[in-house]
C-alpha cells in the first residue's frame, strides 16, 4: 500500500458539501472522479475538472428557475454522474435536496413531494414521470419537472405539460466556472424520508456538517486512498450509499464506478474490479446462497475442501486479529487459499480491500464464510437520523458478531430497557414538519433514541433487539421476532418470513417460499408446485415446521413455531408490503393476511 495516496480533505477546509466538491476539484482536477457505462456497453471516465464543468451547467439551469436558498428540489434517478451533478449544483445554490427511490410507489413519492413542498423534480425518464404524474394529479408540487431522458415520449410530455422540460433543452451549452457557493456548515443540506415500516415516512433533516462529520468519522477508522475504486450499486437515495459511497470517496479523492444494475452486478464486478463496495446484508446472503447451491452439485471432495478452507481461514483470521492461537490447520492455509479462496474472490474482481455491510443485521454464518475466504467484510450500524453511521468494525479490530466501535466524537449511553442513545455532530436536527415525532426521538439536550437494544463489550457494540419489535406471549415470555426471522431465512426454502405471536399462547409464521427450492420440494412429494392447493398439503406443512425448528434450535423452547401459512407471491414495494429499502412492513403484512393469521390461531382448524 506504500504507493497509495492518502489525500483526505479536512472538514474545516471543506466547510460544506459543495465546498468539499470544490476543494476536490482544486486538488486533483485531472483525477478520474466517476466511471459510467453507456447503453452500448462502453465505460467512460469523467475527471473532477469535467464534473465541475457539468455541475456549472446544472447550477446555471437551476438558477434560472428563480429558486431561493432553502427551497427544496427532488431527484428521482438511478445512480449516475447526473445524480452528483444535480446534487452539487443544488447545494451550491443553498437548495435542499430530497432524494426519492426509483422503485418507490408513486403515491408514496407524491406524498413526499407535497410534504416537503418540492419546487423542482429531476426524474429519470418519461415512464417514471407518467406514473408519478398520475399520483400527483392536481397537487401543487412540483411546479417544474426536468426529465433526464431525451426520448420522444419525454418531448411529448414537455409539449403537453407546461411544467415539464427535457434536460437536454433545459441545460445551457456552457456556463461560467463554478464559484464558492453555500458557506454555512449548519445549513440544511437534505431531507431524507425514512421508509418507515409503519405509517407515513418522516423527513430527516440533515445539515452539511452532519454528513461531513460522519464521512470524516468513518475515514478516521478506515483508510481510503485516491487509488481506491468504489462500485456503487445501492441507490444513492439510501443514506448509507450517499454518505459512504459518494461524499466519503470525494473526501478521499477516490473514484466511483456506477454499476449498471443489480442483474449485471456480477459482470460489473469482473469488469470494474473494485477495491471497495458498500452493500446491505441481502447482497452478501444471495452470493453466499449461490455458492452453497453450486457446491451441492459438486463432488464430495470439493465440498469437503471448501468446508476445510472456511475452518482454516477462520483460524487464520482470528490469529491475525490477535484473538486466536496458532493451529495445525494453518499449515494448509497457503494451499487452501490458492485453491478455494482466490477463485471465490476472483468473482468479486479479486482486488477487494473493503466490503462494508450495513442497513440490517448480517448473518454470522455468512460473515464467517466470507471472512474465512479473506473477503474483508466489515459490519457497521447506523440510522438515517445519524447521517447514517454510528459504529463500524475497523479492519484490524473486526468482530463480525458486533457492529463495530463508535465513530470518534459520537457519545453512547444505554437507557432504560437497554436502549441505545446517541449524541454527536452527526445527529439530525429533527423531522421536517413533524415536531411531535422529533420530540419523541430527540431529547432537548441532543440525545437520540435509536429504539435498538444493545450491549457494549470491550468497546464493541452488539445489537440485541428492538424495543418495539419484542413479542410478548400470553405467558409473559418475550421473543425477538427479527432474530427468529433471520434464522429461519437462513434456510434457502424460505424467502421472506414474519413471525406472529403478540399476546398469543404460541408463535406462528407467515412464510414466502423461494420459487426454485419449493418446486423441487413439491415435485419430490408428488405435488404440482404451481397449484395453490399444494401449499395447503398437510405433509408439506409438517416438513416446513420441522425445517423451521431446525433453524431455531439455538433459541429457547418457547420460541417455537407451531403453525405456518405458506405463500409464493413475494412481498414487494409494489404491493405495499416492503419499504423502498427492502424492509418488511410488518404491520402491513399482518393486516393483509389477517384472515390467515386468525385461521392459524383457530383451535377448530
One-character DSSP codes across 393-425? --GGG--TTS--EEPTT-EEEE-GGGEEEEEST
Sheet holding 32-37, edge to edge: 43-47, 32-37, 255-258, 229-232, 276-279, 354-357, 377-382, 389-392, 405-406
Each residue of 359-388: pLDDT tens digit?
Answer: 888 888 899 999 999 999 999 999 999 999
Is pLDDT larger for residue 29 or for residue 1? 29
| Residue-level pLDDT at 76 | 98
Nearby residues of 100 by Cβ (< 8 Å), 6 or more positions away: 74, 75, 76, 109, 112, 113, 237
Give ranges for CATH 3.40.50.980 in the chain. 11-277
Nearest residue to 126 via CA among 100, 165, 90, 74? 165
* Separation CA 34–CA 1 (nearest Å): 22
Highest mean pLDDT among 182-186, 250-254, 589-593: 250-254
Opening angle at CA 359, ends 357 and 362, nearest 5: 50
Distance from C-alpha of 414 to C-alpha of 412, rounded to nearest angstrom? 7
* pLDDT confidence tier of residue 180, bands split at 50, 70 and 90: confident
Taking residues 27-40, report their average pLDDT: 96
Domain 280-466, CATH number (from 3.40.190.10, 3.30.565.10, 3.40.50.12780, 3.30.420.40): 3.40.50.12780
Q: Which residues, including other chains, have CB under 8 Å from residue 439's CB and lie 6 or more apart?
A: none
Q: Report the pLDDT value the prediction gives residue 505, as an integer from 0 to 100.
A: 81
pLDDT at residue 281 in the model: 87
Angle of the 481-488 helix axis to the 538-551 helix axis, nearest 10? 110
Confidence of residue 183 (pLDDT cuts 50, 70, 90): confident
Beta strand ranges found along 25-94 (DSSP E):
32-37, 43-47, 72-76
What pLDDT does residue 602 have? 84
CA-nearest of 288, 269, 280, 285 to 234 is 280
What pLDDT is stored for residue 393 in this prediction? 97
Q: Are strands 419-423 and 411-414 parallel, antiparallel or unpaired?
A: antiparallel
Place of cell 442497513: 359
Mean pLDDT within 454-476: 85
Coil, helix or strand for 597?
helix
Model confidence band, residue 471 (pLDDT cutoffs 50, 70, 90): confident
pLDDT band at residue 12 using 50, 70 and 90 as cut-offs: very high
Give 332-341 pLDDT, tens digit per residue: 999 999 999 9
At residue 324, what are phi and psi to the nearest 5 degrees? -150, 150
Residue with cell 460522519: 214
Pairwise CA distance, residues 560 & 546, whole Å = 10
pLDDT value, residue 195:
66
Confidence class for position 470, pLDDT limits 50, 70, 90 = confident
Distances (CA, A) of 55 to 19, 72, 118, 245, 305: 13, 18, 21, 19, 52
Name residues whose C-beta falls within 8 Å of residue 497's C-beta, 6 or more positions apart in sequence.
Answer: 484, 485, 488, 489, 509, 510, 511, 512
Distances (CA, A) of 101 to 112, 237, 375, 580: 11, 6, 30, 7
Residue 165: its H or E element: strand 164-166
Residue 37 has pLDDT above 90, yes or no: yes
CA distance 404 to 412: 13
> Which residue is it, cell 458486533?
402
The CATH code that applies to domain 11-277 is 3.40.50.980
> Among the listed ranges 20-34, 436-450, 459-473, which one has the minimum average pLDDT value?
459-473
Please check the confidence at residue 603 and state whether its pLDDT lies above 70: yes
Q: Between the CA of residue 419 and those of 25, 345, 415, what are the distances in Å?
A: 43, 38, 5
Is the confidence at residue 198, as pLDDT, over 70?
A: no
> Is pLDDT of 197 > 70?
no
| pLDDT tier, 239 (very low <50, low <70, confident <90, very high otherwise) | very high
Rounded (5°) CA angle 298-494-487: 95
Question: What pLDDT is recorded for position 582?
Answer: 81
- Grid cell 437497554 in the structure block, residue: 418
User: Which pTM does this prediction carry?
Assistant: 0.86
* Number of alpha carbons in the 13 Å side-chain half-sphere of residue 501: 30
Give the model's pLDDT for residue 133: 96
Give the residue-averaged pLDDT of 226-239. Answer: 96
> What does the pLDDT read at residue 324?
95
CATH 3.30.300.30 fits 471-600, yes or no: yes
Main-chain dihedrals φ then ψ at residue 48, nearest 5 degrees = -65, -35
Other Cβ atoms closer than 10 A to 115: 20
pLDDT computed for residue 581 by the predictor = 79
Least confident of 22-31, 102-111, 405-414, 467-476: 467-476
Q: What is the longest distance spanned by two Cα atoms in the chain?
A: 77
Would you state the pLDDT for residue 432? 97
| Average pLDDT value for residue range 183-191 | 95
**Average pLDDT, rounded, for the chain:** 93
Beta bridge partners of 456: 461
The better pLDDT of the pair 335, 602 is held by 335
Higher per-residue pLDDT: 425 or 557: 425
433 vs 515: CA distance, rounded Å: 43
* Residue 215, pLDDT score: 98
Residue 194's pLDDT is: 87
Residue pair 460/440 in contact by the 8 Å Cβ criterion: no
The answer on pLDDT for 42 being more than 60 is: yes
Residue ranges, comma separated, of all CATH 3.30.300.30 domains in the chain are 471-600
**pLDDT tops 90 at residue 126:** yes
* Percent share of the chain, pLDDT over 70: 98
What average pLDDT score do residues 396-420 get? 96
- Grid coordinates representing 354? 473493503
Q: What share of the chain in percent tops pLDDT 90?
A: 83
pLDDT band at residue 1 under the 50/70/90 scheme: low
Query: CA-to-CA distance for 420 and 463, rounded, in angstroms?
Result: 9
| pLDDT of 605 strictly over 90 | no
Tell me the average pLDDT across 585-597.
91
Q: What does the alpha-carbon distance between residue 452 and residue 471 come to, in Å, rounded to a whole number? A: 15
At which residue does the C-alpha cell 441505545 appear?
420
Give pLDDT tens digits for 488-526.
Answer: 998 999 999 999 998 888 899 999 999 999 999 999 999
**Side-chain half-sphere of 587: how many Cα atoms within 13 Å?**
7
How many alpha carbons lie under 13 Å from residue 165 in its C-beta half-sphere?
Answer: 16
**Of 40-49, 345-354, 372-381, 552-561, which gets the smallest average pLDDT?**
552-561
Average pLDDT over every residue of 209-226: 97
Residue linked to cell 474545516: 12
Amino acid at each position: 500500500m506504500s504507493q497509495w495516496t492518502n489525500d483526505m480533505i479536512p472538514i474545516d477546509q471543506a466547510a460544506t458539501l459543495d465546498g468539499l466538491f470544490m476543494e476536490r476539484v482544486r486538488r486533483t482536477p485531472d483525477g478520474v472522479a466517476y466511471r459510467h457505462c453507456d447503453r452500448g456497453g462502453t465505460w467512460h471516465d469523467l475527471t473532477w475538472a469535467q464534473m465541475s464543468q457539468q455541475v456549472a451547467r446544472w447550477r446555471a439551469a437551476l438558477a434560472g428557475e428563480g429558486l431561493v436558498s432553502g427551497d427544496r428540489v427532488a431527484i428521482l434517478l438511478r445512480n449516475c454522474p447526473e445524480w452528483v451533478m444535480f446534487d452539487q449544483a443544488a447545494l451550491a445554490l443553498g437548495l435542499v435536496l430530497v432524494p426519492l427511490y426509483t422503485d418507490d410507489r408513486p403515491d408514496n413519492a407524491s406524498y413526499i413531494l407535497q410534504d416537503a413542498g418540492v419546487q423542482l423534480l429531476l426524474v429519470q425518464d418519461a415512464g417514471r414521470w407518467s406514473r408519478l404524474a398520475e399520483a400527483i394529479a392536481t397537487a401543487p408540487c412540483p411546479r417544474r419537472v426536468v426529465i433526464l431522458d431525451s426520448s420522444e415520449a419525454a418531448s411529448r410530455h414537455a409539449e403537453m405539460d407546461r411544467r415539464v422540460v427535457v434536460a437536454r433543452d433545459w441545460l445551457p451549452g456552457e456556463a461560467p466556472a463554478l464559484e464558492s457557493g453555500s458557506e454555512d456548515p449548519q445549513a440544511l443540506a437534505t431531507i431524507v424520508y425514512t421508509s418507515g415500516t409503519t405509517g407515513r415516512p418522516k423527513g430527516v433533516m440533515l445539515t452539511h456538517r452532519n454528513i461531513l462529520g460522519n464521512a470524516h468519522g468513518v475515514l478516521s477508522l478506515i483508510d481510503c486512498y485516491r487509488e481506491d475504486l468504489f462500485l456503487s450499486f445501492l441507490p444513492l437515495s439510501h443514506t448509507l450509499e450517499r454518505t459512504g459511497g459518494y461524499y466519503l470517496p470525494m473526501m478521499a479523492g477516490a473514484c466511483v464506478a456506477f454499476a449498471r444494475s443489480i442483474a449485471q452486478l456480477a459482470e460489473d464486478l469482473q469488469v470494474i474490479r473494485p477495491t471497495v463496495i458498500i452493500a446491505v446484508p441481502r447482497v452478501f446472503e444471495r452470493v453466499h446462497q449461490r455458492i452453497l447451491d453450486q457446491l451441492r452439485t459438486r463432488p464430495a471432495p470439493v465440498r469437503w475442501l471448501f468446508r476445510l478452507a472456511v475452518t482454516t481461514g477462520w483460524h487464520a483470521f482470528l490469529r491475525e486479529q490477535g484473538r486466536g492461537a496458532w493451529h495445525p490447520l494453518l499449515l494448509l492455509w497457503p494451499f487452501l487459499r490458492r485453491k478455494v479462496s482466490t477463485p471465490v474472490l476472483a468473482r468479486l474482481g479479486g482486488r477487494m480491500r473493503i466490503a462494508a455491510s450495513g442497513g440490517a443485521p448480517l448473518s454470522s454464518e455468512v460473515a464467517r464464510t466470507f471472512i474465512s475466504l479473506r473477503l474483508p467484510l466489515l459490519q457497521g450500524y447506523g440510522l438515517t437520523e445519524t447521517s447514517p453511521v454510528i459504529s463500524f468494525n475497523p479492519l484490524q479490530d473486526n468482530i463480525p458478531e458486533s457492529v463495530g466501535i463508535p465513530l470518534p466524537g459520537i457519545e453512547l449511553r444505554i437507557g432504560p430497557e437497554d436502549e441505545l442513545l446517541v449524541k454527536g455532530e452527526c445527529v439530525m436536527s429533527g423531522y421536517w414538519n413533524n415536531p411531535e415525532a422529533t420530540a419523541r426521538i430527540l431529547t432537548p439536550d441532543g440525545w437520540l433514541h435509536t429504539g435498538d437494544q444493545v450491549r457494549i463489550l470491550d468497546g464493541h457494540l452488539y445489537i440485541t433487539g428492538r424495543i418495539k419489535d419484542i413479542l410478548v406471549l400470553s405467558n409473559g415470555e418475550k421473543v425477538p421476532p427479527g432474530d427468529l426471522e433471520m434464522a429461519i431465512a437462513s434456510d434457502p426454502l424460505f424467502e421472506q418470513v414474519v413471525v406472529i405471536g403478540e399476546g398469543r399462547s404460541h408463535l406462528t409464521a407467515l412464510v414466502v417460499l423461494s420459487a426454485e427450492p419449493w418446486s423441487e420440494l413439491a415435485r419430490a412429494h408428488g405435488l404440482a408446485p404451481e397449484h395453490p392447493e399444494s401449499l395447503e398439503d398437510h405433509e408439506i406443512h409438517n416438513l416446513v415446521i420441522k425445517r423451521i425448528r431446525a433453524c431455531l434450535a439455538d433459541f429457547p423452547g418457547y420460541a417455537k413455531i407451531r403453525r405456518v401459512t405458506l405463500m409464493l407471491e413475494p412481498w414487494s414495494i409494489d404491493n405495499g408490503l416492503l419499504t423502498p429499502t427492502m424492509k418488511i412492513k410488518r404491520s402491513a403484512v399482518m393486516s393483509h393476511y389477517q384472515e390467515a393469521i386468525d385461521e392459524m390461531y383457530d383451535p377448530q382448524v
